[in-house]
Every structure is written in structure tokens, then in C-alpha cells.
Structure 1
Amino acid sequence: MLKKSPYTAIFILLSILMVSACSRHSIYDTAIGYERSAAGLEADMITVGELSIAYLKNAEANEGDTIVLVHGFGANKDNWNRIARELTDDFNVYVIDLPGHGESSKPLDLGYRIEEQVGHLARILEALDINEMHMMGNSMGGGITALYAATYPEQIKTAVLFDPAGILDYENDMVGMVLAGDNPLIPSKPGDFERLMDFAMEERPFIPWPILSVLEEKAIANQEVNKVIFAAIKEVGITSDFRDAINRIEDPVLIVWGKEDRILDYRNGEAFQQAIPDSQLVIMEGIGHAPMIEAPEESARLFIEFAKARILKAS
């Protein structure tokens, strides 16, 4: 099984492909496929109403609990491959491309407010016959995870929020940039995607040029739907409805925030902790907006220890 193969093997494979003059897209497809396989994941699709939904799941199911991973704005299911590597031996992992993202359908008129995305996710999980799970979410996905736990408490065993959106008591540079008409989260021209990665992560992982160029191409192609989604979710942090909703959460919640986050200020973690009863907050030094990418082993360890402690406490 390839799951425990080191990531250096991916770069060796890429070198061979580049020498053999494969196209950028072929190199991208091969590298992403290898990374998924190394994480113990395989790709699949499901139809939910009029939507085609792409997702990743364990290549080999086991007797462990189910974990659902929810990506952030403008991201996709492959953002979770690195942390999934640490989980698929003991858990059944499902990673969803939310509508409007990745390889899933992208209707402009679907409705992308946080509460609407919770409804979309609930229908997807019902179609996948998942009715009890741990859930992790990053950024927008963290806000979705929190509101999902408040809406469907009977389904959630534990929830982990990585740098979640939804409360904006403390602002940082990104707010001013967006107000000035320069949104670093929506690439629109060459160079913007690399700028986004540098902005979002304190130390971003190395990505070879052929893969980076395809990722940028895809991001630029998605800018229209990204603008629609961003407009739908940007008001959530300045209303009390979200905070009031998550105050009703009864499930165990772990909040993890990168202290160097330039998108959502880490001090908002305290506001989340105050809003969610009996929640736990961990601030990760030297980490930006995506702990599960920047520090996958540590992020997985925090979840596993939290889940074990809470499950033992409840038993």
C-alpha cells in the first residue's frame, strides 16, 4: 500500500514525468493521484439532486469512526490530503468538494450563505449515508462545521475548527485589502495564486511549477463563482445570528488557530471559545491560516488526543 510512502517519492515521480515531456495537466493529474493514494484515499462522485459532488474517501474501509473534512473558501478536497495521511489507518475519512468548489457543480444561483452551505452539506452526507461523524473544517469550512454542529447535534461526535470564519471581532490586513477592492483570496491573473499561498500560509509547502501553474489556472477559471460565494459569506462575521447559533452547540469542540494567520486574526479564537460552551482553544505558533496543511502531523495529534479524551469523559 502506498499510504506511508514519503512525499519525496512524489517529486521523484514528477522529475521523471517532466523529463518524459508530459503535459502540465498530465503531471498535475499524476501527482494529485499519487498524493491521494499516499494518503489512503480514492476519488468518487455522487449525484445529489441536480448537483454532481466530488469527494475522497478511504481506499480501504476500516472499523473506526467516520471523519468528514470541510475545506475553506476557494479551496477543495485536496487541501486535506496531508492530514488525511495521519488518519486513514484508524478512521474512515470523507473529504467533500462543496458545491461551487473543486470538481463539484458550480451553479451561480445555488445560494452560498453559511447556513445554506450547511444545508447543502447535510444533503450530501445523507446521500452518502453518513449520519454520525467527527467533523473538521478550515476557514469558511470551520464556520460551516460550527453551524452544522449547532444544527445537527445528534450527528456530531466531535468538531474541530481550524481558523474558522464566522466571528470577526478582530480584523487584520485582509479586511482593508478587500475594502480597497484587492481581494487576495480570489486570483484573477497570473501571479495571484502564488501571492494567495504566501498570504495564507506562514511557510507554504513546496509545490513544483507544473502543479502550481495548473492550480493557478483552475483558480482563475473559478473567479466568477468565487466572487458570488465570497459576497454570500462575507457578512457572517458582522451579525449576531452566527454567534447566537453556535452558542447552542452541545458537542465537544476543539478550536485550533495559527498565530500568524493573516486572513482571520487568531484573537478571534477567544471569541469562538467564549461563544461555544465547553470548547477548547489551541493557538499554534509559527502557523498561518491552514494548520492542516502547514502542520498536518501536529493537527492530527491534537484532534486524536481531544477526541479520545472527550469520548472517555462521556463514557
Structure 2
Amino acid sequence: MQYEIKRDGDFQYIEEGQGKPLVLLHGLFGALSNWVDVVGHFSQRYRVIIPLMPIYTLPVLNTNVKALAEFVHDFLVHKQLKDVILIGNSLGGHVTLVFVKRHAELVKAMVLTGSSGLYENAMGGSFPKREDYNFIKAKVEYTFYDPNTATKELVDEVFSIVNDKGKLVRILSLAKSAIRHNMSEDISAMRLPTCLIWGKQDNITPPEVAEEFKRLLPDSELHWIDQCGHAPMMEQPVDFNRILDDWLKRRGF
């Protein structure tokens, strides 16, 4: 299903449904489409909002995790949103953690899935064979348990990104920023309810990363999805939605 991309000032986003706000944050190679099954399921009872993060449009010297967190802050203020539930995948989870450290007063709870912030085995720091389509295809397939999840459309999109010099420079800048900006000393102070939803076969942020998040976050639950890699909401959307639905209901959200 295709959702309308709304444009308001400097912001582009999807917004569907009414109710308590769920704000979804995509990862480094992610897009609004990563969350299509989540939108379809939860917009029946929640106000589901996905801002398009300015990964490729920030000034190169300011392309980092903190700048993305401030973009999210500006977006929430612009939309007059508070008591939001932030849901982040991969880099989007890392941005969620930085945002909560800086602006916890706006957040009711957070959901992390395949989140960076402690450790990640990134797709590669230099893309030495970025002009080799099969190399990029293998890198995208590595993200998932089932390589068939890496559709030609998805591989084509990543191939286009890494062969655009301006976009590649920003991708590498963000990847280095994520490695530098380790959150291990910060998250023990984050006492808001947290749901961790992890693929058992995540190669990018492996299971031990999820276990460490569970250990460090004071009010967290960890849920596993089998036969699933780094993007559970894409690869196993039914299980992802079921786990998140149950957690939201039990926590009264």
C-alpha cells in the first residue's frame, strides 16, 4: 500500500490514523517504505507518523547522529507532539537514544529494533567495490535472514545511493558518527518503558547487542523473532506487529 507523503515547510512525512502518537524512525539505508506494514496495522488505533530523515541533505560537516536527533526534535515541536512513543530501527534506534538523552520530556516510551548505539557490524566503512552491483547485492542480502527479502528494487536503491558521491560521503560520515557516539554510559539513566524487538539472526547488531541493551536499560523487555535479520518490521512484519501490539496494550499505551 502506498501512503501519501505530506510536505510541511522543511519536513516530509507520512501521517496516518488518530490517537496516541507513534513516531517511527528509519535507518541509514532505510526509507518510509520500511514501515508500511506497521503503518497499516497500527494506524487503526494510533496516530502513526514517519518523518523522512535528512540523511542526504544535511551539511556534510554536520551529518551526524546528534544532528538527526535535533531534526527529530524540531519536527516534534513543529507538529506540537508530546508523550510520543519513539520506534527506531538500526540508526533510527540510535537517534532515538540520543533524542531521549536530550529531550526525555517529550517521550512516553521507546521501541528499539536492530538498534545501533552500543555496537554494529556496519555494511562496510568504505564500499571498496561500490560500482560492483553483485557486491552491493550481497551486502544488502546480509541484512536479512532470507536473502530474498533484498528485492531488486531495494538493491537498486542502495546501489544508486552508494554510487552517488554526495550521498556516500554523508553515509560514511553518519556511520563514523554512530561508532563514535556510543551510548553505553548513558542508557542506564533512561528509565522510560522500552521494548526491544530483535531478529535472532541479526548480523548487523547481533543478539549479544540486544542482551546488552536489556541489561543496561532499567525498564526494558526483550523479544526475539526467529528466522529474522536486522529489520524485523520488514522481514517478519506479522510477528513484529504482534509483539509490539501486545507490549503497548500491557503497558497501557
TM range (shorter): 0.7 to 0.9
Query: What pairs up with 1:1-315 in 2 under 5 angstroms?
Result: 35-36=1-2, 41-47=3-9, 52-58=10-16, 61-62=17-18, 64-101=19-56, 106-109=57-60, 111-168=62-119, 174=121, 178=124, 181-182=126-127, 188-204=131-147, 211-212=153-154, 215-216=157-158, 218-220=160-162, 222-237=164-179, 242-311=183-252
Q: Deviation digits for residues 228-269 of structure 1, max 9, x if unmatched?
A: 2433443544665x2222222121001111121121212111
- Given that 2:214 and 2:220 are in contact with CA atoms closer than 8 Å, whether structure 1 keeps it comes out as yes
| Deviation digits for residues 165-212 of structure 1 (CA, Å, limit 9, x no counterpart) | 0102xx7xx46x736x4479xx54434553233111112566775x45
Larger-gyration structure (1/2): 1
Cα displacement (A) at 1:308 = 1.7
TM-score of the pair, normalised by structure 2: 0.87
Q: What is the aligned-residue identity percentage?
A: 21
Q: Is the Cα–Cα contact under 8 Å of residues 65 and 177 in structure 2 kept in the other structure?
A: no
Aligned to 1:17: none
Aligned partners of 2:124, 2:12: CA distance in 1, in Å? 30
**Superposition deviation, residue 143 in structure 1:** 0.9
RMSD, matched Cα: 2.7
The 1:92/1:221 distance shift into structure 2, 3 A limit, reads: farther
Compared CA separation, residues 136 and 212, structure 1 to 2 (3 A)? closer
SS across alignment from 1:57: strand
Contact persistence 2:23–2:48 (CA under 8 A)? yes
Task: Name the CA shift for 1:239/1:130 in 2 (closer, same or farther; >3 Å).
Answer: closer
Q: Which secondary structure does the structure 2 equivalent of 1:73 belong to? A: coil
- C-alpha separation in 2, matches of 1:288 and 1:213: 16
Task: In structure 2, give the amino acid aligned to 1:144.
Answer: V
Q: Determine the C-alpha separation between the residues in 1 that align with 2:42 and 2:128.
A: 34
SS at match of 2:173: helix
Shift of 1:68: 0.5
C-alpha distance in 2 between matches for 1:259 and 1:188: 31
The 8 Å contact of residues 250 and 277 in structure 1, kept in 2 or not, is answered as: yes
- Matched residue SS, 1:293: helix
Displacement of 1:213 in angstroms is 7.0
**Cα pair 2:140 2:150 within 8 Å, conserved:** no
The offset of 1:162, in angstroms, is: 0.5
Q: Would the alpha carbon gap of residues 113 and 220 (structure 1) be closer, same or farther in structure 2, given more than 3 Å must change?
A: closer
TM-score w.r.t. length of structure 1: 0.71
8 A Cα contact 1:134 1:157, kept in partner: yes
Residue aligned with 1:95, SS? strand
Provide the C-alpha distance between the structure 2 equivalents of 1:151 and 1:233, rounded to a whole number of angstroms: 21
